Every structure is written in structure tokens, then in C-alpha cells.
Chain A
């Protein structure tokens, strides 16, 4: 098993390095940790998109793409990841390992340096972010917000969150709202960008054949001009333990299929969260094909085309998402809740339990084969303040007992039911 090395390389900057010989591709990412909130979400999410338009050395898309092509098609992408109420914004990059290329390509140093240039040294006009880039990315982000409606499943989950967490930061869409996005102006945004760069905690992840020492050197050289303020912003996620009276909301749209989405609070278990058990609980209830939702709601009763649950353990919220025939709303809702009751009563066969556990362990082990997935896993660990590596975490999952899962099921509370249906028919 390859070992992960974690090191503070500059004030407020954590670098995780995983050295492994098995990939032909190197991977490097950098993420600024920002507090998700309605006022700033659009600004935080738009910044990497604007920065990706060009840096001082490669001031437009054409020259930047050419530079990437020259690095044998290295890829650098803006990335916005949300974990609970923390927004991680920055870049991820991947590049072919030198070993498979002619000459001394130095793709690792060159790509990390390009990422740093994009983040720290943007194409500016009179010291300000390029107004043209800001405006066109603003258009794009507004389109992105409007396009949420295109995928009904994503749209319904988004609406559920807005309704359920109306007065919590969690209800904010990562790209903000049309209103906040439209208000973005390049002068104040330049100031905001500089502040966020100086005051954010920064997480970096590398995976590939290079030694941690070589990566650290490359990072320190590339990020030498990173501004650091005296204090760093603390980011956190507010956890609401209990749900209020359940809310029921139905909305209509021109669709053929109905989307039934249900939000739960994880309840008292969030005082001392057992994350490994939560993952197993989710898998028993609604994650994957061995789950109760899949086996009963989909397969046995044919009530829907898909039905699955997911838990955001950073926030303590579980969401069930299902695609149903609008006429079967009552039936599907009752059955989804009945399956949760079954978990609460401990009505979980040892087969269901064991296969859920082995499913979780197998997926964790499989993370080892993808740099991007490991990046996500370790980012999640970092934000929760956990120190387990993949194997250790898999070991914790293996130790989960049935009682742990039942305890979580008992703790879960129904909060909001959101139904997106076709127009004109009564429910």
C-alpha cells in the first residue's frame, strides 16, 4: 500500500502527497477553502473560471491551450467542490508522466508552475482582473444557474435543499443565485480575489510517481509569491440536529416523469458522528443495488425507475431521490418511508448488512486506483479533521456492527418532501 505524506508547506497550506509507480498520469490539485454563503458563493465559484481564461504569460485561451498542448495535452480545470457548507475552489490538473515521453519533458514541474501562475498571476488590465473575462464568465455562470433545470434529478435535489435549508448556508447553490451572479463587478471582484487568496486555508493534493520531496520543491517554487495574511479564515458547517414538522412541497413542470426527493436530518447521532457506520447505514438503506430502496421500491414493487439515498455526513443530512410515475406518488412515498422504518426496527438481514459492508469496503479499496477519487476522499478527511488513510478507514467500516446502523436509522428524522411533477394532474 502506498503511503500518504501530509505536510504544512507554507503557512495555512497543507500538501498531501501519494507516491505510487502505478499510474502513467500525474495528478495535482489546489483548493481554497471558502465558507459557503449566499453573498459569496457566486464570487467564489466564478474566480477559478475567470483565472482559467489566462495568466500573464499566457493571457488568452488560445495561448494557454497551446501551452497545455505542448505539455503533451496536460489538463488544468477549474474545480468547485462542496463539502457541507465549505466550498473548495481552485484547479485540478493531470499530466503524462515523463517516463513515457521523449526528452526531458518535466511535466510535473511545468504543470504545477502553470497552475500556480493561473491562480496567482492572472492576466490583468491596470492591476485589475480583465473586465471582458469577468463579464463573459458571469454570463456563463448565469447560464449554468439557469441550466440547472435541464437535468430534472439534479434540479429536484437542488430545490429540496433550497426549501429544507432556506435559512442555512447549505441551501445555497454552489454557483449562487442569478441575482448575486449578475451583481458581480470586476473592480470589487479583484479586491475580493486578492483577499480570498491571502486569507484562505489551502489544500493541495499530489498523486504520481514523483517523490514527496520533488513535489514539495516544485510547489514551493511555483507558489513562492502566494500572499499569506496574519490570520486564516475559519470555515465550518452548521449542523442542525433535529427536524421541525415535516414540510410537503409540490411543484409542476413540463415533464413526463415525476421526481420525488426527500430530505432527512441525521438527528442525535451527529453529536458524536460515526462516519463509517453512517456510510454503511446509507448503503443498507438506499445506496446501490443491494439496498432496501433498490430491492423493494424499484425491483419488487416497480414503483420507480431509480431510488437511492445519499448522506452528506459533513452536514448531517440524508437525501432520497427517486424517479416515479406521478400517479404513484402516495404509494412510492409510503414505501420509501416504510423501508426506513424497517431499518429502525432492525429488520435488516445479515446478508443485507454484510453485503453493504463489503460493498463499502470494496469501493474504498477501489479508490486506490484513481487519483481524482483519492483527492476527494482525502479532502473530505481533511475537512472533517480525520486522519485515517483509505485502508484504515476501510478497517473502521469492517468493524461496524448492526446495532450502530440501527442506532443511526432510529436517529434520522423526516424534514422535507419535495415532489416535482407534470402539469395539470392532481396528486
Chain B
């Protein structure tokens, strides 16, 4: 395997793209008791329309997530989740907008557990009966999500910002959309996306890179294939599709989240730079050490639940701020006013200090094997390494941040989502 050393953060990455297209990344950690393995496919809730063998396919909302739930069932009637747990590992899986990941951490029998992980993820097995049963379980999960104000809040912001992008829909889909799922749909999507060329295995902790590679070679025999082209809907304009969405739910105080669309950049590093610039700019404008935060906190407009930042998904990204407030629109007004001011001048000291703080947090994140693997997998799918974050961050200038604030925190760019207490309107 090839070794890449990131001396400035004291980490090393062992890397190889195997003959069958699968990429393996290992980040050993000395003195760690446990090992974390993360097997991910570049396929998530947003990947609903795709082209394979020259033909476009449309799939219902929620297939990637449904597939994740069903992957644990094996043809011999066993369940991989149980097998791993019985073997002392803590397994789990999740589906994000652009990725599905299967993982476990363990302190013992790592090689056995890795063998189980590799095999179950590459073995599709679905029956009419098991699909019907899962529709019941996921139906409950969807309902639970609909009861969650925080999820509804974010989903509504996506619906306000975007006119067509599948990020508008919940990753789990709806009770109606998952009713359309059949074993055939699952087999087809597994074949298209769970192909080694579209996947990565990241291991961190107490691990030997060469052993990891050998176990992969012994177990993953599937050959890589064409990586499907995706379609995320008609190109979106710069402005939000809708300026506001409000809903009533059983909450104590209004929850709000407002934000703007950010452009997509196919170059992973510059996309990453945009996101880091956005994080820094948000911190400068309204982070805990900003004047605006103190002022709004003092005036009782926000409380500790206030947050701001950027996030991405396939084919797009957004910047947002949110929390709880008696007057969400007053918060938004203060933010846009302060953004316009900050975009003009000042804040040099603040900028340098925040950069120092963000540098610290990138180093701190390296203590978590989970963070390392998730960030590496995501970066890999975008064509760079997460260990470059420190250098990319150092290249961000205050002018980049000002430009960000000027553009994206202009009032016409913003959409607002509010969840109000029942009967408040």
C-alpha cells in the first residue's frame, strides 16, 4: 500500500486502489484500544435518477435508506447486525444525502468482524416478505421523523430553497413512496451503486494496513463496473424557490432556520474551500465571539441553541443559521444588516483569531477515529483528502469571507423556515 504522511498534523494514511476498483484507506492510531471500519458507497437519498447502460432510471424517494436497512439480512437467514454484535462489535449504518455507510467499532476480533462487514454489504438478499415487513418498520421511523420539529424545520428550509433538487425530500422518503419499493428495485440499485468502483473502505485505530488489504482481497470478489451518472433535477437559480415556509407543531418556542443556496463546484478542493470560507465567515458574523451574537443574546433574541454554518449534499450546498427565537424575522434582519457592514470592512483581528480556533478544531477532530473515517470517505468521493483541510483553511483570506457574506447573506438570497407552537399563528 502507498503511504501518505501528513506531518503537520502527525497522521499517516495508507492507500490503495485495488484491481477490482475498490479503494482502501487505513489510518493507524497508536495505543488505541479499538478499531473503526467504515464501508461506504457513493449513493444516498438524493441519488434517485441515474443513467446506467445508456438508460435513465427513476426511483422512488427513500430507496437508498431502505436498502441500508435491508442489507443486514443474509440468505442463510442470519442478520449481520446480530452477528457483529454477538461478536462483541458495535455495528451501525446510516444513509445521508450523498452516501450510505456501514460501520462497526470493536476492540477484539477485528479481522472476523471486517470479514462479516465486507460480505454482508456485497451480498444483496431481498424477498417480498422481508420488504413488506420493513415497510412497516420504516413507516414508523418516518412518522417519528415527522414528529421531530428539528427535522421538519430543516426539510422545510430545503423545500423553500430548492425548486427541483431531490434534497427537498426526506432521505427516508414517505410512507407512500416506500410503498412502491419492491425487491427488484432494491436489487437494481444495489447492482448499480454497490459496485467496488463506487465505494471506499476506511479503517482507523488499532489496525495493520497490509492485513486490511489482504482481508479485502480475500473477501471482495465483485469486479468494479460503470459508475452511474446522476441527475439532480433542472439547474437551480440563485434565489430561493420560496421565501418562507411556516408550520405549527408541538414545540415550546418557535424554531427557525434561514439560509441561502451555495453554488456547486465539481472540483473537490475548491468546493471544500468554499465550505470552509463559509464556516469562517459565519463565525465572524454571528459566531459566539462575534459582536452580533452577544448583542442578540443580550436582547433575548437568541439563546444557546443558536448555530450557523454550511453543509453540502450531492450537487449543491447551503449556508444557514438557526435556533430558537421569539422573533425569527428580527434575527434574520439583524444578520443581514451586520453582514452588509462586515462585508465592507473591519474584523481583521477577529478573522485571525477565528482561523486559529478553527485550526485547533481540525487538529482536535483527529482524535476521533469516526471523524477520520467519515471525513476521509466523503473527501474521497469528492476527489481530495480530509487531511488537506488544515492547508485549505490556511489559504482562506478575509476577502474571501467578506465576499461570501456580501453574496449569500444578502436578504434576497435568504429563505426562512419556522416551526411555531400550536395555535400561535
- A-to-B contact residues, CB < 8 Å: 20-25, 60-62, 65-66, 68-74, 94-96, 99-101, 132, 136, 139-140, 143, 146-147, 149-152, 253-257, 288-290, 295, 298-299, 302, 304-305, 323, 325, 351, 354-355, 358-359, 361-363, 365-366, 368-370
Contacts and interface: CB of A to CB of B under 8 A. Distances in A.
13 contacts: A24-B363, A60-B294, A69-B353, A70-B356, A139-B300, A140-B303, A150-B251, A256-B147, A289-B82, A302-B133, A302-B137, A325-B140, A355-B88
A413 B238 CA distance: 61
A304 B139 CA distance: 10
Contact of A136 (B150, B205, B298, B354): B298
A62 B289 contact: yes
Interface in B107-150: 107-108, 133, 136-137, 140-141, 143-144, 146-150
B30 interface: yes
A65 B289 contact: yes
B291 A62 contact: yes
A323 B136 CA distance: 13
B140 A257 contact: yes
Contact of B34 (A20, A295, A366): A366
B164 to A, nearest CB: 28
B311 interface: no
A288 B300 CA distance: 41
Contacts of B276: none
A61 B288 contact: yes
A72 B251 contact: no
Interface in B214-243: none
A152 B363 contact: no
Contacts of B293: 61-62
B29 A73 contact: no
Contacts of A254: 249-250, 422
Contacts of A100: 9-10, 363
A139 B30 CA distance: 46
A206 to B, nearest CB: 15
Contact of A257 (B82, B143, B252, B289): B143
B33 interface: yes
A24 to B, nearest CB: 5
B358 interface: yes
A409 to B, nearest CB: 20
Nearest to B366: A24
B356 A149 contact: no
Contacts of A152: 147
A302 B289 contact: no
Contact of B86 (A132, A253, A255, A351): A351
Interface string B335-374: 0000000000000001001101111110110111100000
B297 interface: yes
A139 B291 CA distance: 21
A378 B106 CA distance: 21
B252 A363 contact: no
Given A143-B303, A304-B140, A366-B107, A256 B29 contact: no
Contacts of B350: 66
B385 interface: no
A180 to B, nearest CB: 17
B359 A255 contact: no
B422 A73 contact: no
Interface in B53-100: 79, 81-82, 85-91
A136 B297 CA distance: 8
Contact of B149 (A61, A150, A363, A368): A150
Interface in B136-171: 136-137, 140-141, 143-144, 146-150
Contacts of A25: 363-364, 367
A94 B364 contact: yes
A143 B325 CA distance: 10
Contact of B144 (A20, A295, A305, A365): A305
A150 to B, nearest CB: 5
B324 interface: yes
A101 B86 CA distance: 42
A73 B289 contact: no
A140 B298 CA distance: 11
A295 B107 contact: no
Q: Which 9 A-B pairs have the closest CB atoms?
A: A65-B289, A73-B357, A72-B360, A73-B360, A146-B252, A355-B86, A358-B88, A305-B140, A365-B107
A247 B287 CA distance: 48
Contacts of B363: 24-25, 72, 96, 100
Contact of A256 (B91, B146, B205, B361): B146
Contacts of B364: 24-25, 73, 94, 96
Contacts of B359: 72-73
A305 B9 contact: no
A355 B84 CA distance: 10
Nearest to A153: B144
Contact of A70 (B34, B86, B353): B353
Interface in B259-308: 287-291, 293-294, 297-298, 300, 303-304
A259 B30 CA distance: 44
A101 B356 CA distance: 10
B30 A305 contact: no
Contact of B300 (A136, A147, A299): A136
A349 B79 CA distance: 17
A301 B303 CA distance: 43
A231 to B, nearest CB: 35
A24 B141 contact: no
A253 to B, nearest CB: 6
Contact of B252 (A136, A143, A295, A368): A143
Contact of A363 (B90, B140, B353, B356): B90
B259 to A, nearest CB: 21
A69 B33 contact: no
A367 to B, nearest CB: 8
A254 B81 CA distance: 34
Contacts of A290: 82, 85-86
Interface string B4-19: 0000011000000000
A71 B82 CA distance: 45
Contacts of A365: 33-34, 107-108
Contact of A368 (B33, B141, B250, B324): B33
Contacts of B149: 150
Contact of B298 (A132, A256, A363, A368): A132
A295 B82 CA distance: 9
A96 B362 CA distance: 10
A65 B288 contact: yes
